[in-house]
Structure 1
Amino acid sequence: MKTQIFACLVAAALPLTVNAQTPHFKAGEYTATAEGIHGPVEVKVTFSNNAIKDIRILKQTETEGIGTVAATELPKKIIDAQSTKINGIAGATITSKAIFSAANKCIEQAGADPALLTPVAIKNRAGAKSLFADMVVVGGGGSGMAATIEGRMRGLNVILVEKMPYIGGAAAISGGQVVAQGSKLQKAYGSTKDSPESMMEDFLANGHNLNDKLMLSLYAHNVGGTIDWLHEKVGVKFIPNNLPFLAEYTHRRALEFEGGAKTMAAHLRKVIGENGAKVLYNTRVQSLITDEKGNVTGVKAVDNNGVTYTITSKATLLTTGGFGNNKSMLSEPVKSALYYGPVSSTGDGHQMGMKLNAGTQLMQYGKRYPNGIEVSPGIAKSTIYANVGAFGQAGILVDVNGKRFVNEKASNRHILDPMMKTPNKQAYVFMDEDSWKAFYKRLPETGVSHEDTGKYLNNDGKTAPLFVKGRTIKEAAQKAGINADNLAHTVARYNSFVKAQKDSDFGRPEQYMKKEISSEGPYYIVEQKPRFATTMGGLLTNDKLNVVRKDGSVIGNLYAAGELVGGTMGDDSPAGANVGWALTSGKFAADQIADKLTK
């Protein structure tokens, strides 16, 4: 999955005090740059003799919907506070730090010390507001965005409440593939023999038959129509004629978003911005409102300025995502895996539902991938598409003993399971120069910038994440702590399989065995550790996505969709499945609500 992780900062301003003395600047315009997550962020700051008058972001290539919000909002916050000693934007730590750093350089050029600029007081705008909606959607990830769009298309008055300063959630930073079984595009691109039954069989096999079959059937019978809706009515674009090979599936059934997940999410944001839905950003729902019969009649929420909202609604749809960023809700082995998901995944909807005695299932499971690098303690980034590039050349996976242990083109699940049986429960991608070039080219697709890659290589295995380069197999192996003699033997054995066009050890497909590993260096080794973002468990729902209590009764007017709904995937999700489920269940829930309200 293309995914990337940012540590959370509170978006609201800290309690502030008035400056002890008026600052003095050399009036004029100054520019400076600092490194963001995807490259340099260039900032221009304009000063009068005693104030920061204007801040412009001249250049940035940050993540759409996360980093770009920081680029939009932080300049005004700095000007209001007349200081960079404020909190950044929630979920955009790296971009926020880059803007602060560049602004501080400009302050220094203007002859002042940024550390001495105490933030000025900002007026508290707390108050109370009452709102009404046909449908209130809690959470603006993939399912929340799909529900908001479909709700407006069906004529509903929709309020979307999002605790972050942007919408997009996990869907915006997903791998960019989406299940499209039964869609017109799947058939048009050559996969004509797929079926809901085949999809369900594949999902059950991947999920160890633990799947909620009712939810899985709902998914399999509605995903095709959802993809058609996205393409034909919402305007989401897909890469033409592209149904990539994915080991989890017996048929090619995944499409790729044109421009990736970030472009898809940006388009959905644009549609929501134009379709009349009211969106409350930086606003966290604190509780559900119920009547004397236990039916949900709306939500209570508060924003970062202290404004409280009472939103009365005919239907409430929870689309709050998972709980991967809430350690207290996680179980082992997921709890110990590196996390790479959104900071917003804290289980808010799960907790609200459980307070109303909602049933849950499969809460102990999370989707783990075998292709993470540890960019900071406990935090991962993905190399999944970089690996695809390497394995398209002559890259192989080895364990710490220098031995292959798996078919590199197997499903994530079938790579992870044997990887967890290796001596140190991790693996290593071993690459010659051509494989490295293919790997390196695709690293930015999952948020690993080429600038950071250069730093990792320069560290040469001395600090995490482990990226090493050696002139010989032995030198690279020794730097990585891998058995060099075994690795040399493994390379020779793999090359013999390439010559024979048959992987006698693990059955790597012939189309991915076109090149031998070069006999000449340099060689590269990159760590592979388990990473996780998506939780598999959640609330119980019925065939209309109404939330169901432990005793089987329906909680009136309360619906759920997306990752919050438990069981669809079983204990593991195949490629493209999570974003597909989010979009499908979000639209489906909105249709159920619209059908009920417009009878």
Structure 2
Amino acid sequence: MIRRLTFISALTALSLASFAQAATFNPGTYTAVAKGNGGDVPVTVTFSNNSIQKVEVGQNKETPGIGSVAIENLPKSIVAKQSLGVEGVAGASITSKAILAAVASCVKQAGGNVDELSKVQKKDASAPAQTLNTDIAIVGAGAAGQTAAIRASELGKKVILLEKMPFAGGAAAVNGGTVVIQGSKIQKDAGITDDSPAIMTEDYIKNGHNLNDRRMLSLYVNNVGPMVDWATTYAGMQLNTKAGFTNEAEHSKPRVMRWVDGAQGATRNFKAAVEKSGTKVLLGTPAKELIVKDGKVVGVKAQATDGTLYTINAPAVILTTGGFGANKDMLAGNLKNSLYYGVKSSNGEGHQMAMAIGAKTQMMDLGKIYPNGMEVAPGIAKSTIWSNKAAFEDNSGIMVNKAGKRVISELDTNHNIKNEEVKQGGKLFILLDEPSYQAFLTKLNITGISKEDMDKWLAQDGKGYPIVVKADSIEAAAKKAGVDGAELVKTVAKYNRYVQSGKDADFGRPAKFMKKQVAANGPYYIVEQQPRFATTMGGVVTNDKLNVVDKNNKPIKGLFAAGELVGGAMGDDSPPGGNMAWAMTSGKLAAESAVNSLNKSPRKD
């Protein structure tokens, strides 16, 4: 028999009353659904009279490489341990809770004892210790770490890649899915032959407000093209050349493209390339400290989530642990008061391990603060960056302040829009007619927002987090959002006249993005916009070989770093596609430097 039941939350399902003795079920197959990060997560469970025989997750829209890890691993764990008291997958908590909720519902339907099965099992305290030997140990499996692993393996070295999360990808798995390709063959083949490292340098200094570490910036702009050529050939990464370049105000030349299938496609290709490289990957294994002998880093100690202690001996270690945005104790300056929307794993462990042995740091108070965030919970944001593009570039979405007036071009740089938000008291608003709203919805999944999320927020009618409202008239929508409705009506009329004339006389919104007037009839939607950040711009200091230096600017032998962990290249702001390109470029160069250091000083077995 098959029964189906829909549940709203994991908490509801896991609090169900017990019905029978543990491990006693009415044999059969039962189905339930719970809400995940991307929508419904259907689960089917098969029971014998005394065991859970099979847990299967049906078609869903959970994030590949993150939620999909929970979908792959959690059902196996439930069956293996015959328990609902298993740990969810770190970083995929919403998907994990949805699976556990649905399984709990099935247990109830089968007459099982949910309370008994939900008791948390004790971990095995006798987990063994292991000592592993390798040429290069890489800590952190984001874009920089995976790139470094692929390159070092290609150059003939034995590599161990450690990742504290149960899946690889880091912040790159949930970024905007774009990458800078200046100087690459693909850029030239697309007809852009007048770009150069010098022009890119000028753009980055302007965007980074002259706070850039010129050494790191030079390393970046002169090596990003060769990195892209290598990544799209040997490493198997795929750029969406059919779609062409994305429109980015921060770049004076077309030099940004999306990966095929965005961040999700890049995540899949990284995984395939790492597997092909032969790199030994230890997931769910956070590094704890660097091993130092006679002033040289010679390995790393780590402990897996199952308790296993690892001592990894390696004459070269590359730290690629990302940023520290999720660690409030490390935040300084404006970062303390900005909404955080990055991955929960960005806790600065790499910074802390390096600093513990005397590494120099810089720019630790700087972060990439974006303008397009919604406060989905106190202090926590989600991004609408790609949805905004859909609403502004191909539709009639406009952005206004609380007084109902446009104050900046909707297609200005992220930095300028962010500054205007701050000037306007930390908040702007997007007005969308029905076609613009539908376009807005099509891109939300890129940044982890579902239509169900929007529906839930709309139902709050402006009285919760975030402000997302709907009404039949502009005035009514404005009232719900706390915006001056009478002035907003005038702003819309003025904008529509600009569309007719083909020129934005106030703020210079490009005419090619002013093809449609705001509709004369509702419904209308208003969505809040607040500053948010995920990327920290500061980090450890390295030389031009990506060798970490101490406070006296002397290289720490055996220790290299790459990616967000290394501060400086972009100053106080990073343009679209910049962080991904820097992660991969620095990861490739760090691997090459580490390999060269080993070749000069052969390992003695």
| SS state at 1:374 partner | strand
> Identity, % of aligned pairs?
49
Q: CA offsets per residue over residues 470-502 of structure 1, 9 Å max, x none?
A: 111111101111011111111122122222222
CA distance in 2, matches of 1:128, 1:217: 43
Residue 485 of structure 1 corresponds to 486
Q: CA offsets per residue over residues 268-296 of structure 1, 9 Å max, x none?
A: 1122123211111111111111112x110
Counterparts of residues 215-294 of structure 1 (less than 5 Å) = 215-241=216-242, 242-292=244-294, 294=295
| SS state at 1:54 partner | strand
CA distance in 2, matches of 1:489, 1:169: 45
Cα distance change, pair 457–222 in 1 and its aligned pair in 2 (3 A): same
8 Å CA contact 1:33–1:40 kept in 2: the answer is yes
Residue in structure 2 matching 1:400, options 387, 402, 427: 402
Q: Quick one: which amino acid aligns to residue 259 of structure 2?
A: F
| SS state at 1:342 partner | coil
Q: CA offsets per residue over residues 212-261 of structure 1, 9 Å max, x none?
A: 00000000000001111111111111111411121001101111100111
| SS state at 1:431 partner | strand
8 Å CA contact 1:81–1:119 kept in 2: the answer is no
1:297 maps to 2:298: yes
Residue 556 of structure 1 corresponds to 557
Q: Quick one: which amino acid aligns to residue 488 of structure 2?
A: L
Residue 103 of structure 1 corresponds to 103
Q: Quick one: which amino acid aligns to residue 285 of structure 1?
A: A
Q: Which runs of 4+ in 1 moved over 6 A?
A: none
8 Å CA contact 1:85–1:115 kept in 2: the answer is no
Shift of 1:120: 4.9
| SS state at 1:567 partner | coil
Residue 87 of structure 2 corresponds to 87
Greater mean alpha carbon deviation, residues 388-397 or residues 554-563: 388-397
Counterparts of residues 161-560 of structure 1 (less than 5 Å) = 161-241=162-242, 242-292=244-294, 294-392=295-393, 393-422=395-424, 424-560=425-561
CA distance in 1, matches of 2:62, 2:345: 19
Q: CA offsets per residue over residues 122-145 of structure 1, 9 Å max, x none?
A: 544511111111110000000000
Shift of 1:455: 1.8
Residue 60 of structure 2 corresponds to 60
Shift of 1:62: 1.2
CA distance in 2, matches of 1:190, 1:91: 41
Cα distance change, pair 518–119 in 1 and its aligned pair in 2 (3 A): closer
Q: Quick one: which amino acid aligns to residue 369 of structure 2?
A: R
8 Å CA contact 1:125–1:305 kept in 2: the answer is no
1:148 maps to 2:149: yes
CA distance in 2, matches of 1:138, 1:523: 48
| SS state at 1:237 partner | coil
8 Å CA contact 2:136–2:159 kept in 1: the answer is yes
Q: Quick one: which amino acid aligns to residue 433 of structure 1?
A: E
Shift of 1:119: 4.4
8 Å CA contact 1:175–1:446 kept in 2: the answer is yes
Shift of 1:443: 1.6
CA distance in 2, matches of 1:595, 1:376: 47
Shift of 1:552: 1.1
Q: Quick one: which amino acid aligns to residue 262 of structure 2?
A: G
Greater mean alpha carbon deviation, residues 433-442 or residues 150-159: 433-442
Q: How many residues align?
A: 578
| SS state at 1:556 partner | strand
Q: Quick one: which amino acid aligns to residue 253 of structure 2?
A: H
CA distance in 2, matches of 1:115, 1:375: 31
8 Å CA contact 1:130–1:311 kept in 2: the answer is yes
CA distance in 2, matches of 1:119, 1:81: 11
Residue 29 of structure 1 corresponds to 29
Shift of 1:457: 2.0
| SS state at 1:310 partner | strand
CA distance in 2, matches of 1:198, 1:479: 46
Shift of 1:394: 1.0
| SS state at 1:59 partner | coil
Q: CA offsets per residue over residues 521-566 of structure 1, 9 Å max, x none?
A: 2211011111110000000000000001111111001000000001
| SS state at 2:167 partner | coil
Q: Quick one: which amino acid aligns to residue 441 of structure 1?
A: T
Residue 14 of structure 2 corresponds to none
| SS state at 2:415 partner | helix
8 Å CA contact 2:418–2:531 kept in 1: the answer is yes
Shift of 1:121: 5.1
1:596 maps to 2:600: no
CA distance in 2, matches of 1:470, 1:332: 39
| SS state at 1:45 partner | strand
CA distance in 2, matches of 1:426, 1:448: 20
8 Å CA contact 2:176–2:263 kept in 1: the answer is yes
**Which consecutive residues of structure 2, in runs of 5 or more, have no partner in the other structure?**
1-19, 601-605
CA distance in 2, matches of 1:119, 1:359: 43
8 Å CA contact 2:409–2:509 kept in 1: the answer is yes
Greater mean alpha carbon deviation, residues 57-66 or residues 521-530: 57-66
Shift of 1:597: 2.2
User: TM-score, with normalisation over the residues of structure 2?
Assistant: 0.93
CA distance in 1, matches of 2:122, 2:534: 38
CA distance in 1, matches of 2:134, 2:360: 26
Q: Quick one: which amino acid aligns to residue 37 of structure 1?
A: N
CA distance in 2, matches of 1:357, 1:122: 36
CA distance in 2, matches of 1:581, 1:306: 34
CA distance in 2, matches of 1:384, 1:331: 25
| SS state at 1:598 partner | helix
**Which consecutive residues of structure 1, in runs of 5 or more, have no partner in the other structure?**
1-19
8 Å CA contact 1:82–1:119 kept in 2: the answer is no
Greater mean alpha carbon deviation, residues 480-489 or residues 448-457: 448-457
CA distance in 1, matches of 2:214, 2:28: 66
| SS state at 1:205 partner | helix
